[in-house]
Amino acid sequence: MPSWFMPQASTSAVEIDNLILMITVIVGVWFVAAELVFFWLIWKFRARDGVRAQYVAGEAKSEKKWVSYPHYAVLVFDILILIFALRVWNNIKISAPPGEERVRIIAQQWAWTFQHAGPDNILDTADDIRTVEDMYVQVNRTYHFELHSKDVVHSFSVPAFRLKQDAVPGRAINGWFTATQTGTFDVQCAEICGIGHGLMPAHLHVRTAAEHQAWMAEVAGTGAAPAEAADMGTGEVLAHADTARVQMGAMQ
Which amino acid is present at 170? G
**In the set 25, 126, 192, 209, which binds other proteins (CB under 8 A)?**
192
**In the set 129, 160, 179, 206, which binds other proteins (CB under 8 A)?**
160
Scan residues 14-33 and list those touching other proteins (CB under 8 A).
15-16, 19-20, 23-24, 27-28, 30-31
Binding-site residue total for other proteins (CB under 8 A)? Answer: 107
Q: Which stretch binds other proteins (CB under 8 A): 98-106, 163-171, 209-217, 223-231?
A: 163-171
3-state secondary structure of 112: strand
**In the set 47, 210, 217, 225, which binds other proteins (CB under 8 A)?**
47
Smallest gap from Cβ 61 to other proteins, in A, equals 11
Whether omega for the bond prior to residue 110 falls within 30 degrees of 0, making it cis, is: yes
The CA-atom distances, in angstroms, between 112 and each of 67, 132, 227, 230 are 52, 6, 11, 8
**36 part of the interface to other proteins, by CB under 8 A:** no
Scan residues 59-118 and list those touching other proteins (CB under 8 A).
59, 63-64, 66-68, 70-71, 74-75, 78, 81-82, 84-90, 92-94, 109
> 219: closest CA among 231, 227, 229?
227
Smallest gap from Cβ 211 to other proteins, in A, equals 21
Smallest gap from Cβ 21 to other proteins, in A, equals 10
State the Cα–Cα distance between residues 241 and 252, nearest whole angstrom.
17
Scan residues 202-231 and list those touching other proteins (CB under 8 A).
none
Smallest gap from Cβ 217 to other proteins, in A, equals 29
**34 part of the interface to other proteins, by CB under 8 A:** yes
Q: What is the DSSP letter of 215?
A: H
Which amino acid is present at 21? L
Smallest gap from Cβ 198 to other proteins, in A, equals 4
State the Cα–Cα distance between residues 169 and 139, nearest whole angstrom.
30
Angle between helices 11-44 and 61-89 (to 10 degrees): 160
Q: Radius of gyration over alpha carbons of the chain, in Å? A: 26
**168 part of the interface to other proteins, by CB under 8 A:** yes
Scan residues 117-136 and list those touching other proteins (CB under 8 A).
none
State the Cα–Cα distance between residues 191 and 235, nearest whole angstrom.
23
- The CB density around residue 17, as the number of other CB atoms within 10 Å, is 17
Smallest gap from Cβ 134 to other proteins, in A, equals 14
* Residue 92 or 139 having the CB closest to other proteins: 92
State the Cα–Cα distance between residues 166 and 174, nearest whole angstrom.
10
**In the set 51, 210, 217, 225, which binds other proteins (CB under 8 A)?**
51
Decide if 176 contacts 144 (C-beta within 8 A). yes
Q: Which stretch binds other proteins (CB under 8 A): 55-63, 97-105, 122-130, 210-218?
A: 55-63
